[in-house]
Structure 1
Amino acid sequence: MQGPGHFPADPPVRCLEMLEVAEEAFRAGNFELAAEIYSSQQEELPRTNRALWLRKGDALALAGRVADALDSYFRAAMMNQLSPDELGVLVGSIARNIREKDLGLPSTHSHTHPAAPHSQSSPTMLSCPKCNLLLLDPVTLLCGHTVCKKCMCATGAPDCNRCQDRMKGKAESDLIHSRDFKVNVVLGNLLEKWLGKETRVRRLLVEGQLLRERHNVMGAMEKLSTALQMAPCDSLLTAERADMYLLMKNFKQALADADFVCRNQPLWPQGHCIKAKALSELGRTDEALKEFLYCVALNPEWSSMKTEAQKILCDMLLPTFDNVQASLGSPFHVQPSYNELKLCFLNSSCASAANMPLPGCSKDLLFKLTKCSFPVNGSFQTKEFTEEASRSCGHSIDKTAAIPCANLKRKHPNSLEDNQSAAKVIKTDNERKCENSIESEIQDIPLHLVDACDFECSLCMRLFYEPVTTQCGHTFCLKCLERCLDHNAHCPLCKENLSQYLAYRAYKKTFLTEELIIKYLPEELVERKKLHDEEIKELSNLNKDVPIFVCTMAFPTIPCPLHVFEPRYRLMIRRSMEIGTKQFGMCIADDLKGFADYGCMLQVRDVKFFPDGRSVVDTVGLRRFRVLSHGQRDGYNTANIEYLEDQKVEGQGHEELRLLHDAVYDQALTWFNSLKDNMKAQILSHFGSMPSKESELQNNTNGPAWCWWMLAVLPLENKAQLTILAMTSLKDRLLALKRILIFVTRRRPR
């Protein structure tokens, strides 16, 4: 596109002002006004200006007046040969008209590269999100999405184009190599079972492509021919064979295959691309231009196809007659010696000019792309005959340099449904039968092939629930796999080392496996979910079968950090997080019963995992409880419990309790302040600051928080602490603390 800086260096002042107005109109999208101003200024400029003709052509093209635009481009070509880059606006405008008016597609286009159509032999659910074809050797990425092994190897790193999940950091970088990921065993077996023929066809296609990359053309053609015998109406296979014929310079056969593809997949740009190349090699340049323009119309960002169209148009607009400069001042006429490919502006009906659409728009049927002579009633007539015929209809041909954007139409309907139905009209009966048989095969998977045993976890022997797939390709229920990795960082089936997978700790569900279960095994899934919900409900009960961590003393409101490394406690902590309670009991050990009869419930505030599965759990004490009965679940201890509450006192007893409380608090504060600085610093870093006195002593069922803080920091044995923890009388607890403070104060060295 030419800018205003390309205009004459010294135009008249008024011309310069008008050109600036035209440029503003151009930038504002008012192309009709811009073209009109450019036309008026061409008459006032001291000499004809090529840049102005190009700018006017761009404005007319963007306004949809392609025929008029070509007049301007041709004028510029007569002054100096056009370059393909100067026709970018023209090609874009023609392609946009085709896209919007002929094909009925939206003006925007999100794909940057032409994509293959869905294979006729692959349901969408079982298609690879990268290549859009039936999954072959399916590999499940860490994000849970599944792609073809070949597609993942081609990218070099398993980044998902669905969720844009990109692994970062050292733990993830160890997993980005495609060789670390094996074929998903469950999905691979299902594809072989459900779509055996389609899978074999897909494999033959891939094998053929690999042979072609190795320059074994005959071997590749043999693979494609075998695949087409199994799926004779597959557009992708036919397109691959057409491309192979191009490579072998068998352009007629390539054209035949490409034409078949375009009729079956009229909205697939790759089919038009192959057809355009074949036509170009056969010297049928005008038809090749149509196909290149369709490629651009279907994929506006396909720059290479746009460039090819620009090159052809550039050649078509190349003037070859003599004394061009002498004719610039008057209406030009093409000499009979102009024997190269020309573009002619023809009237296709005798309709009055008043009822005609704008020249160059998609509905304008006035243009036709031809060579020097035109086929009329089966024979070729000269250009002069065509002009005479046109004049007899009441319209004269006043331009021989107009591009036929309108007749680039292929009579495509204005909607996708109409387009597909129109394509079917021209198919032979055999093709229709062939296609219908394939379509009926792939509408759905036959129910007799669906077996719940194919979706059975090898650990729990039940239907997959939240299926996850390891990098070795085996699938398990999420909870089943986590329990196995608690004990051993190896695959339960193949024993492959999964330490890196464990370190990543982003266990994502395998979406495709779950989607297949939802679609084909809905009743079994309901039963499986019901069983899972019952287990969760049972685990969520904080009075019955409460998980017990047997370790140390814990007190209400006091932090209790834990280092978890035993498999049974890994499971216990994970379950408390998953069910949402984030709570478990803490008791000290007992030689006879296994753990003490009293303890404290802990609330998980945060969990930090290490690559080897260990974790540091930040917890804080909640409520005290008494153990009613002891039990076990999956290796860890459980208990039926009842919660303890302080007894409330009123009247005179409440006042005596307050006086005792204040006295013991002051005594405790004095003792703490008397400690050495290093000891105080250790206490503060571990337990935090000493809580302040509370205005109401009996608001909390556990009593004042400072009592538990003091009990935690005093140098007492666990049994003594347990005795005070079990007290339900605040008065008794305060008296016990008073005696302990007196004792530790007297024992302190002076």
Structure 2
Amino acid sequence: MEAPAEMLEMADEAFRALNYELAADIYECQLLELGPQRHLYLNKADALARCGRFTEAFEAYQSAADLDRLRPENLQHLLDCIAANIRVKEALPRPQATRRLRPPAGSPGEQAGTGAGEEAPSDPLSCPACLELLFEPVSLPCGHTFCRRCVEEEAVSQCQLCQLPVSVRPEAGSGVSPEPNFRLNVVLCNLLEKWFPSECSCRRLQLEAAGLLRSGDYSAALGLCERALFLVPHDYLMRCYRAELHITTGNHEEALCDGDVACTLKPLKTKGHFWKAQALVKIGRTEEALKEYLYCIALRPDWNSVKLKAQKLLCDMFSPVLENMPDSRPTNLRSQSSRIRPKPTFLSTFSSASIARDYAVAGPSELFSKVNIILTPEPNASGPILNKCKSTPGETSVTAETVPPSFTDGSQKRKISHDTEICQSFKTPSKMAKKDEFVPLPFDNFKASREIPSELVDPSDFECSLCMRLFYEPVTTACGHTFCLKCLERSLDHNFDCPLCKENVAEYLVTRAFSKTFLTEELIIQYLPEELNDRRRLHEEEMKELSNLTEDVPIFVCTMSFPTIPCPLHVFEPRYRLMIRRCMETGTKQFGMCIGNELKGFADYGCMLEIRDVKFFPDGRSVVDTIGKCRFKVLRHGQRDGYNTANIEYLEDTKVEGEEYHELVCLSDSVYDQAFTWFSSLKDNMRTQILNHFGPMPGKEPIPQSSQNGPAWCWWLLAVLPLESRAQLAVLSMISLKDRLIAIRRVLVFVTRQPLRSL
């Protein structure tokens, strides 16, 4: 007999609406009315699990199992709820939404996983992907640094931190290969080898061991692991790696020991818990293995393969103990097998009243009976309380944080410490641990192990090979060499090759991908603050000097320019590329424009230009859109880094008053009308060319002396009239508007009599 469809739909709707209490009550009513039905028991159990009534949920799951063996997918809701409670009650870090890179092939993380839910690197020298000390660091174009194998094996196209491409992808036809080429960051490689020689050697041994593992030479691989752990006994990654090797070779007790040590070193990482669980499964301690799997899922909820393992273990716990007996057993015994089977140990003493305190902290009290994680204070004890594990092979004791005083019932909440909070002492009764003579570092010592001794920090290790000064805004090229940003840009003005290895780095000119290498800059900030302050002060002084718009003003020697008139420039010479870049960096965005002079290099008068936009080309050239600002007179000629400079004073028209002003207004109106008539008389094609290049003729200004440079239409007219540069320069230098208007009128009279043939 089946439950009425209306009631089931109502229960399903309540479940979808997160009203699990109502859903559980409806399923219970249906069971009372219709009798035992497996699917109703499962639905009721799922609803009870969702609302935290775990004891009743277990009983419902058990009732369903008595009717037919549970399948792993039947326990998905139960597992998710258990993991969620563990995560909340133990204040575990929230799972990260950012996708992490897959660990390199052959590493422990390949199976154990380094994914969402694991904490961010605790220090800048940790790889954001594997969370271990950087090994063979590679700096991506975006400026973030990873272990080479962490990005190479995955063949990803984006940085996992900023989502920018991991390689420069130039435009088609640029001649630059779009394929990523991960080259080691030379500066960081040298620093890591200098600061952490043992750990770097440990990583190299791990890579060799990975190769031996793939070839099936397990004995040699274990030998390399032994050597690596002799160098760095507290290396978490190598402990996980050796645990994997021990499981592969059948040394499950030794694998359990390494898993224990790894969990103690870094309790909030999943790999140690995973390999410990694998070892526990192999030696038959399934309830303890389930505890470790649950902790993995609590740390990383998206780990589906571990979820499946945990679900299978739970299924086995709910299954009758006699179901695998030979079929020759008496029929009556087989029919009663589920009733005579003892329940899993964690079901017998688990009560709803204590769920928030007992289960969410450590699972049901009996579930974790073999690895006691309930901390019991020692008499007269002070400070951190030592957790006493039961005397079972391969088990170790761990030190937890001081127990909060709010727990007064004798059962203390286990508090997982951060990665760097390593236990102050623990015992290793297994044979493998004794063989290694592993003694965990005290918390202070372990934390200091990543601190760089001051005697090893040498400013020369952070010296730019171009300017021979401390890196300022360090940039790492695709070939792995690091330079100051400004030094690299200046070098590329002259040559597209790396200054050190001569490899082509033209991709930087294509994309302008000059992102700072964050790790290098962070190390300088942390370990060389005084040197960095001196370097920054020197840079600021240089920028202040370059920002002066009256002394050592950069001069572009090219053509005539005028106030208010656009002046597009094609920049290709290295000296002017440097000059334009500096104008942009200082924020002035201004430079002087003068025509050439055979004796002095450039003329004594010119016009300041303001940069409105710069468009770069793949070969380093650029088109600079500028507009004239004001006139100046050169007081002193000079040079700087290949381009011309000058001390200048700005020109301003002399203002007149009274009768002279009225005459000036009349003259201005007359010349304007004459100019407009001339422009209107030009052929259509000539007018079109002028409009395209200079824009429309500015309107007449009611007050001619409103600007220090005079009416804008005068400069527009001077730019389009067919005059030689020397004649234009003479008019530009005039500080009398009346004289300038008279000169323009003379030119108009001349060109009116001699029509323009072409521009």
TM-score by length of 2: 0.83
Question: Secondary structure of the equivalent of 1:124?
Answer: coil
Q: 1:576 to 1:694 in 2, by over 3 A?
A: same
Question: Secondary structure of the equivalent of 1:274?
Answer: helix
Q: 1:742 to 1:55 in 2, by over 3 A?
A: same
Quote the Cα distance in structure 1 between the aligned partners of 2:352 and 2:591.
Answer: 87
Quote the Cα distance in structure 2 between the aligned partners of 1:117 and 1:41.
Answer: 41
Is 1:309 equivalent to 2:310 in the alignment?
A: yes
Q: Which of 451, 463, 470 lines up with 2:470 in the alignment?
A: 463
Quote the Cα distance in structure 1 between the aligned partners of 2:116 and 2:627.
Answer: 58
Q: Which of 466, 491, 495 lines up with 2:498 in the alignment?
A: 491
Counterpart in the other structure of 2:546? 539
Q: How far is 1:550 from its partner?
A: 0.4
Moved more, 541-550 or 442-451: 442-451
Which residue type is aligned with residue 416 of structure 1? I
RMSD over aligned CA atoms reads: 3.2
Q: 1:62 to 1:125 in 2, by over 3 A?
A: same
Q: Deviations over 1:221-269 (max 9, x none)?
A: 2221110111223232111101011111222322222233233333322
Is 1:60 equivalent to 2:67 in the alignment?
A: no
Question: Secondary structure of the equivalent of 1:76?
Answer: helix
Quote the Cα distance in structure 1 between the aligned partners of 2:352 and 2:279.
Answer: 41
Quote the Cα distance in structure 1 between the aligned partners of 2:527 and 2:580.
Answer: 35
Q: How far is 1:683 from its partner?
A: 0.5
Quote the Cα distance in structure 2 between the aligned partners of 1:603 and 1:153.
Answer: 46
Q: 1:145 to 1:412 in 2, by over 3 A?
A: farther
Q: How far is 1:151 from its partner?
A: 1.9
Q: Deviations over 1:561-595 (max 9, x none)?
A: 00001111001100000000000000001111111
Q: Which of 706, 709, 713 lines up with 2:716 in the alignment?
A: 709
Q: 1:534 to 1:104 in 2, by over 3 A?
A: closer
Counterpart in the other structure of 2:12? 23
Q: What does 1:593-608 align with in structure 2 at a 5 Å threshold?
A: 593-608=600-615
Is 1:129 equivalent to 2:131 in the alignment?
A: no
Q: What does 1:144-159 align with in structure 2 at a 5 Å threshold?
A: 144-157=143-156, 159=158
Q: Which of 67, 70, 89 lines up with 1:82 in the alignment?
A: 70
Counterpart in the other structure of 1:41? 30
Counterpart in the other structure of 2:278? 277
Quote the Cα distance in structure 2 between the aligned partners of 1:438 and 1:196.
Answer: 18
Is 1:416 equivalent to 2:416 in the alignment?
A: yes
Q: How far is 1:106 from its partner?
A: 5.5
Is 1:105 equivalent to 2:105 in the alignment?
A: no
Q: 1:118 to 1:633 in 2, by over 3 A?
A: farther
Larger of the two Rg values belongs to structure: 1
Quote the Cα distance in structure 1 between the aligned partners of 2:292 and 2:718.
Answer: 86
Quote the Cα distance in structure 2 between the aligned partners of 1:158 and 1:249.
Answer: 39
Q: Deviations over 1:669-715 (max 9, x none)?
A: 11111111111111100000000111211111111101100100011
Quote the Cα distance in structure 2 between the aligned partners of 1:297 and 1:110.
Answer: 15
Counterpart in the other structure of 1:362? 360
Q: What does 1:362-511 align with in structure 2 at a 5 Å threshold?
A: 362=360, 368-369=366-367, 413-417=413-417, 424=424, 426-427=426-427, 431-432=438-439, 434=441, 439=446, 442-511=449-518
Q: 1:186 to 1:123 in 2, by over 3 A?
A: farther
Question: Secondary structure of the equivalent of 1:524?
Answer: helix
Q: 1:336 to 1:420 in 2, by over 3 A?
A: farther
**Matched residue count:** 682
Counterpart in the other structure of 2:663? 656
Is 1:548 equivalent to 2:536 in the alignment?
A: no
Q: Deviations over 1:174-198 (max 9, x none)?
A: 56534x3422221111111111122
Q: 1:190 to 1:118 in 2, by over 3 A?
A: farther
Question: Secondary structure of the equivalent of 2:124?
Answer: helix
Counterpart in the other structure of 2:525? 518
Contact 1:413 1:419 in 2 (8 A): no
Contact 1:549 1:585 in 2 (8 A): yes
Q: 1:42 to 1:89 in 2, by over 3 A?
A: same
Counterpart in the other structure of 1:196? 197
Q: Deviations over 1:510-546 (max 9, x none)?
A: 1111111111111111111111111111111100111
Show structure 2 runs of 5+ residues with no match.
101-112, 324-333, 370-410, 430-436
Quote the Cα distance in structure 1 between the aligned partners of 2:752 and 2:300.
Answer: 87
Contact 2:95 2:300 in 1 (8 A): no
Contact 1:517 1:525 in 2 (8 A): yes
Contact 1:118 1:132 in 2 (8 A): no
Q: What does 1:607-686 align with in structure 2 at a 5 Å threshold?
A: 607-686=614-693
Is 1:694 equivalent to 2:701 in the alignment?
A: yes
Quote the Cα distance in structure 2 between the aligned partners of 1:67 and 1:574.
Answer: 71
Q: How far is 1:100 from its partner?
A: 2.5
Quote the Cα distance in structure 2 between the aligned partners of 1:696 and 1:500.
Answer: 53
Quote the Cα distance in structure 2 between the aligned partners of 1:364 and 1:163.
Answer: 37
Counterpart in the other structure of 2:375? none
Is 1:296 equivalent to 2:323 in the alignment?
A: no
Q: How far is 1:36 from its partner?
A: 2.0
Quote the Cα distance in structure 1 between the aligned partners of 2:251 and 2:362.
Answer: 36
Q: Deviations over 1:593-650 (max 9, x none)?
A: 1111110000000000111111000000000011111000000011111111111111
Quote the Cα distance in structure 2 between the aligned partners of 1:233 and 1:253.
Answer: 16
Q: What does 1:185-334 align with in structure 2 at a 5 Å threshold?
A: 185-319=186-320
Counterpart in the other structure of 1:70? 58
Quote the Cα distance in structure 2 between the aligned partners of 1:357 and 1:458.
Answer: 64
Contact 2:182 2:478 in 1 (8 A): yes
Q: 1:158 to 1:211 in 2, by over 3 A?
A: farther
Q: 1:236 to 1:99 in 2, by over 3 A?
A: same
Quote the Cα distance in structure 2 between the aligned partners of 1:431 and 1:192.
Answer: 24
Quote the Cα distance in structure 2 between the aligned partners of 1:335 and 1:177.
Answer: 64
Q: Deviations over 1:190-226 (max 9, x none)?
A: 1111111221112222322233234332332222111
Q: 1:344 to 1:648 in 2, by over 3 A?
A: closer
Quote the Cα distance in structure 2 between the aligned partners of 1:34 and 1:445.
Answer: 59
Counterpart in the other structure of 2:571? 564
Q: How far is 1:486 from its partner?
A: 0.7
TM-score by length of 1: 0.84
Which residue type is aligned with residue 27 of structure 1? R
Q: Deviations over 1:397-442 (max 9, x none)?
A: xxxxxxxxxxxxxx88443349997955644697556556962651
Contact 2:257 2:428 in 1 (8 A): no
Contact 1:116 1:132 in 2 (8 A): no
Q: 1:626 to 1:354 in 2, by over 3 A?
A: closer
Quote the Cα distance in structure 2 between the aligned partners of 1:68 and 1:679.
Answer: 93
Q: How far is 1:733 from its partner?
A: 0.9
Counterpart in the other structure of 2:381? none
Q: How far is 1:69 from its partner?
A: 1.0
Is 1:170 equivalent to 2:159 in the alignment?
A: no
Counterpart in the other structure of 2:378? none
Show structure 1 runs of 5+ residues with no match.
1-7, 323-331, 372-410
Q: 1:369 to 1:495 in 2, by over 3 A?
A: closer
Question: Secondary structure of the equivalent of 1:183?
Answer: coil
Quote the Cα distance in structure 2 between the aligned partners of 1:321 and 1:187.
Answer: 62
Q: 1:630 to 1:577 in 2, by over 3 A?
A: same
Q: How far is 1:105 from its partner?
A: 2.1
Q: How far is 1:358 from its partner?
A: 7.8
Identity %: 54
Contact 1:123 1:134 in 2 (8 A): no
Quote the Cα distance in structure 2 between the aligned partners of 1:35 and 1:603.
Answer: 75
Q: 1:511 to 1:560 in 2, by over 3 A?
A: same
Question: Secondary structure of the equivalent of 1:659?
Answer: helix
Counterpart in the other structure of 1:50? 38
